[in-house]
Structure 1
Amino acid sequence: MGRNTRKRRSSMANKAIAASAALALGGGGLIWANFYASAHESKNSSQNQTKAAAAQVATISCPDVGQKLTNVPGGARSGVDRELANLDKQITEAYARLASTRQAQTNDAGFVQNAIVGPLKEKRAATIDRIRINIQRAGGQVQDLSPLAACTTQGAQTNAGGGQNGGQQNGGQQNNGGQQNGGQNNGGQQGNGGQGGNGPTAADFVDITKAPRNAQLGVGANGLAANGNGGSRGTFTTSCGTNGNDNHNTDNVIVAPGVTNGAHHLHDYVGNQNNDAFASDQELAAAETSCQNQGDKSSYFWPVLRVQDGSQDFDQNNDGGGKEGNVGKILQPAQAQLKFVGNKRGKVVAMPTALRIITGDAKAFVNGNANANVNWSCTGFENKVQLEDKYPICPQGSQVVRTTNFQSCWDGKNIDSANHRTHVAFVQANGTCANGFKAIPQLQVRLVYNVPAPKIQNGQVVNPYAVDSFPENLHKPITDHNDFINFFSQNTMNKMVNCINTGKRCK
């Protein structure tokens, strides 16, 4: 069996309320006491309102090297993946230092550049060079990646996750490191907000009853109907539970195989019960499944949703958890609906075994929204409002909904690609697949949560909720993402394809 973390949360952990920001992080959190020197919380434990001292700079933005690697020889994949994971670790460490050195930044205008951004560039340059060596030793060609070593700092307020509009300044310094009196206000919330000190902020939320109507029933994140009146109109639904057995870990076997804590945030897993960083395809194929249909051993996983109400969960002092700013009570979905649909222009073909699909971008806040694929809404509003860069505040009796429609075109050859993107694609505007790709069943994941509605008071968000994220991405809603690895049996996959192509509704 793998290294999955299966820990039930005790009632004590769920009820523990942090008396101060330092206690909220269990002494081992991302943001240390000097960053919270002027922080305080409401004396009412149910109104966990943290007013963080303003950071000099909100976050660190580094080019995503992995997305540039579209042609890595098979013999170099494992080494390259390890180095890409090292790059993520380096950014996480640099962000932690940025967040914990507020006083030093105030006293020294060059501190951010000299002590954080400059050394980070040197580490990244060495790691990027090792990536080049790995690829060339395996007989591959690689473009000059050295310009990707340099990082900048940016403010927390952007539009729709477009990190490039976030106020990047002068090689990593804003106003020569001397921002005073609140820094990034971001809708009134000082600093980066949130119980963990790295989001979310009041500006990340919107009352859904006041949001503009922008959705049509059945329209996905790419703006296209999942399937129309023509083509393959059937559906196949698989029921795999809501992770009631608390199957969690902070790995990502797709992006960082063999690397512990490769995701730097916690995932919910349903379906395949042996998914961790070290799981081979053979182990995944032989694993147990939480799906009612035992012919479905596929792995479905997504970042957990937490409510930041002052509670401490089981991972409060763990990597990927409280140590990296992912804090608060983990919410189990009330519903997790997994449905496969067809193509509106034609028939679909079977997915290959072990096909991997990542949709959305966990780093969309700093990467920009080119790969973002996010739908936030509330029950009763899904055919009216779909949000990308905001978390919804739902009215009483309404639940928070996360919906993800996956890519549904496949290149017909590969189960993965070097950047985990180019072997699959979304359909074109007319519903067809481009570049000779084949239409495959489209996975739609709909997660429904009972979330205590946050409140905005005096420009602060009280009891916010957020998805887990890489710490430097500040728990922005645009960073939501979803992952899938196909391990349907051949018989069950054939049944799915037949149901979809003949217009049936199957389970």
Structure 2
Amino acid sequence: MRHNTHKQSRRTRQAIAATAGLAVAAGGLVAFNVYASAHESGAAATKPAQVLAAGAASTISCPDVGARLTSVPDQARAQVDRELALLDQQVSEAYQRLRSSARAIQQDSDFADNAIMGPLKDKRFAAIDRIAIAIGRSGTRPQGLEALAACTLRVVGSGPGQGQGNGAGQGGDAGQRGNGPVASDFVDITAVRPNVRNPPRLRGASRGLFTTRCGVNKNKLYNSDNIIVAPGVANGAHHTHDYVGNQDNDAFTTNEEFAAAATSCRNQGDKSTYYWPVLRLQDGTREFDAQRLGGGAEGNTGRILTASEVTLNFVGNPRGKVVAMPKFLRIITGDAKAFTNGTANANASWSCTGFENRQLTDKYPVCPRGSSLVRTSRFQSCWDGRSVDSANHRAHVAFADPRTGACPAGFKAVPQLVQRLVYDVAPPSLGDNGKSSPFYAVDGFPEQMHKPITDHGDFINVFDERLMRRMVKCINTGQKCQ
């Protein structure tokens, strides 16, 4: 097994990030701000003591600074990456103190503000200022980042299945160490109406299909790094990833090392890296990472499930031809923090075999007997024609219009990666009391409560140029190739 092995020594960072909590209600995601400022119009300031005394789960919500960066000069990238990692560490420390300070907060309703939230704001302000200075040395200093320093304390609902109990991987009300999921995160797939719609294909559409076969991670290559979002930072993902394709994956892998590495793909011309958060069954199993960052130390507990099938297809554009992706193009689909960031970038979906015309984003499906769980991620298929990455890791690529298939102005259509993962996992037996044993859940940041809407996937293109040209020709001429 290859678990968090890095090519150079590193100091392990203690980081259990924590941001906003949202309750899932009939109308969608509902935020409960329990640390509202007294001057907010129409907002009744609810003291944390009242919330925690009632047994409700709470968490810390901080603006995502990295997502707000539109331009980072190459000379500033290393320092900016370090400061963004430090922001995560600061929130981690504040969240851990919050979780361990319930008694103090109950006794003194100002404790959270004075001892946790106030100091956190000051630390974040200093780190954000250093980010702005670093960018300003080589480019235009970003304005308004300081407004992102303040965080809020939020409650995540109450009542059955929403409490902050001490579940240790057995499902039930508390889920993974109080971080979820809960019974309300699951829905019977047979009760969901068909909802898949595809844009019509025009006469000049690229109708071909290219399939690359890269296995299911039987090599057990796992780590909690994220080379795209947090290069050079150990445990940058704060959850464990499955990897297929390129076998040299960690936070410190260079493009040259990607190109020279081995691959699990059948066609050795594909050394791309495909990775996603692991799925776990909360059955009490102590995995290799049960006490490590990224694993049990950050609320990700239970048996890691290996997909029974991984399908990696590249498809065309419904309006016209596609062009080759540039080598080392990086694409993130979905949002690991969608539960707190909002749903703008949430697009990974859940379903069951035999029911894939019914896709879910904010619920886990309960599949009928004989049906398997399916996770599907469609990656962005429009490229800006210039960059292999961008400051926020999103601006250089985009989705085609879901109604017409057209790319945004100035973007070019490239082959679209459609990643499909199948798991043979027994569905939880949901009871009237809201309990279930065991749940399954996707790995994630602890403050995201293991919600299905946080599912996501990552891809770095390391196809050799010859195979990429073959892929484009195959798709543009309507063939099926591999």
- The TM-score range, normalised by the shorter chain, is 0.7 to 0.9
Task: Report matched runs for 1:2-17 at 5 Å.
Answer: 4-5=4-5
Q: Which has the larger displacement, 472-481 or 77-86?
A: 77-86
Task: Report matched runs for 1:308-347 at 5 Å.
Answer: 308-347=282-321
Give deviations 1:385-440, integer Å, cap 9, x for gaps: 11111111111111110000000000000000000000000012321111210000
In structure 1, C-alpha distance between the alignment counterparts of 2:308 and 2:5, rounded to whole Å: 21
- What percentage of aligned pairs have identical amino acids? 60
Corresponding residue for residue 15 of structure 1? none
Query: Is the contact between residue 246 and residue 268 of structure 1 (CA under 8 Å) also seen in structure 2?
Result: yes
What SS does structure 2 have at the residue aligned with 1:448?
strand
Give deviations 1:309-343, integer Å, cap 9, x for gaps: 11111100101110000100000001110000000
In structure 1, C-alpha distance between the alignment counterparts of 2:175 and 2:3, rounded to whole Å: 30
What SS does structure 1 have at the residue aligned with 2:420?
strand
Tell me the number of residue pairs that the alignment of Structure 1 and Structure 2 aligns.
429
Letter in 1 for 2:368: P
Is 2:196 aligned against 1:215?
A: yes
- Name the CA shift for 1:444/1:292 in 2 (closer, same or farther; >3 Å): same
With normalisation by structure 1, the TM-score equals 0.81
In structure 2, C-alpha distance between the alignment counterparts of 1:434 and 1:153, rounded to whole Å: 38
Q: Which has the larger displacement, 79-88 or 330-339?
A: 79-88
Task: Report matched runs for 1:13-32 at 5 Å.
Answer: none
Structure 2: which 5+ runs fail to align?
7-13, 17-51, 166-173
Of the candidates 405, 412, 429, which is equivalent to residue 438 of structure 1? 412
Query: Is the contact between residue 72 and residue 140 of structure 1 (CA under 8 Å) also seen in structure 2?
Result: no
Corresponding residue for residue 254 of structure 2? 280
Give deviations 1:353-372, integer Å, cap 9, x for gaps: 00000111001111011111
Is 2:171 aligned against 1:199?
A: no
Is 2:340 aligned against 1:366?
A: yes
What SS does structure 2 have at the residue aligned with 1:78?
helix
* Alpha-carbon offset, residue 54 of structure 1: 6.8
In structure 2, C-alpha distance between the alignment counterparts of 1:63 and 1:129, rounded to whole Å: 15
Query: Is the contact between residue 57 and residue 162 of structure 2 (CA under 8 Å) also seen in structure 1?
Result: no
CA RMSD of superposed structures (Å): 2.1
Query: Is the contact between residue 376 and residue 390 of structure 1 (CA under 8 Å) also seen in structure 2?
Result: yes
Task: Report matched runs for 1:62-73 at 5 Å.
Answer: 62-73=62-73
Of the candidates 348, 365, 380, which is equivalent to residue 392 of structure 1? 365
Query: Is the contact between residue 333 and residue 345 of structure 2 (CA under 8 Å) also seen in structure 1?
Result: yes
What SS does structure 1 have at the residue aligned with 2:259?
helix
Is 2:476 aligned against 1:495?
A: no
Of the candidates 469, 484, 500, which is equivalent to residue 444 of structure 2? 469
Letter in 2 for 1:411: D
Give deviations 1:46-92, integer Å, cap 9, x for gaps: xxxxxx99745422111111111011111111211121122122222
In structure 1, C-alpha distance between the alignment counterparts of 2:305 and 2:311, rounded to whole Å: 16
In structure 1, C-alpha distance between the alignment counterparts of 2:406 and 2:365, rounded to whole Å: 33
Query: Is the contact between residue 394 and residue 400 of structure 1 (CA under 8 Å) also seen in structure 2?
Result: yes
With normalisation by structure 2, the TM-score equals 0.85
Query: Is the contact between residue 57 and residue 163 of structure 2 (CA under 8 Å) also seen in structure 1?
Result: no
In structure 1, C-alpha distance between the alignment counterparts of 2:114 and 2:370, rounded to whole Å: 52
Query: Is the contact between residue 56 and residue 105 of structure 1 (CA under 8 Å) also seen in structure 2?
Result: no
Is 2:394 aligned against 1:424?
A: no
Query: Is the contact between residue 189 and residue 460 of structure 1 (CA under 8 Å) also seen in structure 2?
Result: no
Letter in 1 for 2:242: D
What SS does structure 2 have at the residue aligned with 1:95?
helix
* Alpha-carbon offset, residue 96 of structure 1: 2.3
* Alpha-carbon offset, residue 122 of structure 1: 1.4
Give deviations 1:85-132, integer Å, cap 9, x for gaps: 221222223222222322222222122222222221111111101101
Corresponding residue for residue 238 of structure 1? 212
In structure 2, C-alpha distance between the alignment counterparts of 1:86 and 1:445, rounded to whole Å: 32
Task: Report matched runs for 1:340-355 at 5 Å.
Answer: 340-355=314-329
Q: Which has the larger displacement, 344-353 or 80-89?
A: 80-89
Task: Report matched runs for 1:265-304 at 5 Å.
Answer: 265-304=239-278
Structure 1: which 5+ runs fail to align?
7-27, 31-51, 158-183
- Name the CA shift for 1:301/1:229 in 2 (closer, same or farther; >3 Å): farther
* Alpha-carbon offset, residue 4 of structure 1: 4.2
Is 2:86 aligned against 1:112?
A: no
What SS does structure 2 have at the residue aligned with 1:118?
helix
